[in-house]
């Protein structure tokens, strides 16, 4: 757990504090400011929330990167609409649906 990230996540960064180490795990040496020092439970909850948000963002990036490119879409759509050739469009739709099946929301 990174206490500095937790303090920021909890909105307690207007306080000043010192930690006993530069690398996690940290412990408070001092705390001064208008807010009460967070409890270990509050820090752990904040850390869990930070990790959950990070995991969700990583999942979204992975899913987005798996989709066919916009160039693939434009080429497939153009050939379908202008040339009446839907072979690339059909392949595009299959690839898109596979991404959605492999990476459900």
pTM above the 0.85 mark? no
Below-50 pLDDT ranges, the chain: none
- Which secondary-structure segment (H or E) carries 91? helix 87-102
Q: Which residues of 33-49 are buried (b: 16+ CB within 10 A; e: fewer)?
A: eeeeebeeeebeebbee
| Length of the chain, in residues | 105
**Looking at domain 1-66, which of 3.90.550, 1.10.3470, 3.30.56, 1.20.1510 is its CATH number?**
3.30.56
CB atoms within 10 A of CB 72: 15
Domain ranges of the chain: 1-66, 67-105
Which residue from 71, 68, 61 is spatially nearest to 99, judged by alpha carbons? Answer: 68
Question: Could you tell me the sign of the dihedral formed by the alpha carbons of 57, 61, 64, 67, in that order?
Answer: negative
């Amino acid at each position: 757990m990174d206490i500095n990230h937790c303090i920021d996540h909890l909105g307690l960064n207007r306080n000043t504090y010192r930690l006993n180490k530069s690398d996690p795990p940290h412990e408070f040496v001092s705390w001064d400011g208008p807010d009460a020092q967070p409890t270990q439970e509050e820090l752990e909850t904040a850390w869990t929330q930070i990790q959950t948000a990070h995991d969700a963002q990583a999942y979204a990036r992975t899913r987005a990167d798996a989709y066919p490119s916009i160039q693939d879409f434009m080429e497939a759509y153009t050939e379908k609409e202008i040339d009446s050739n839907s072979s690339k469009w059909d392949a595009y739709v299959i690839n898109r649906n596979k991404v959605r099946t492999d990476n459900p929301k």
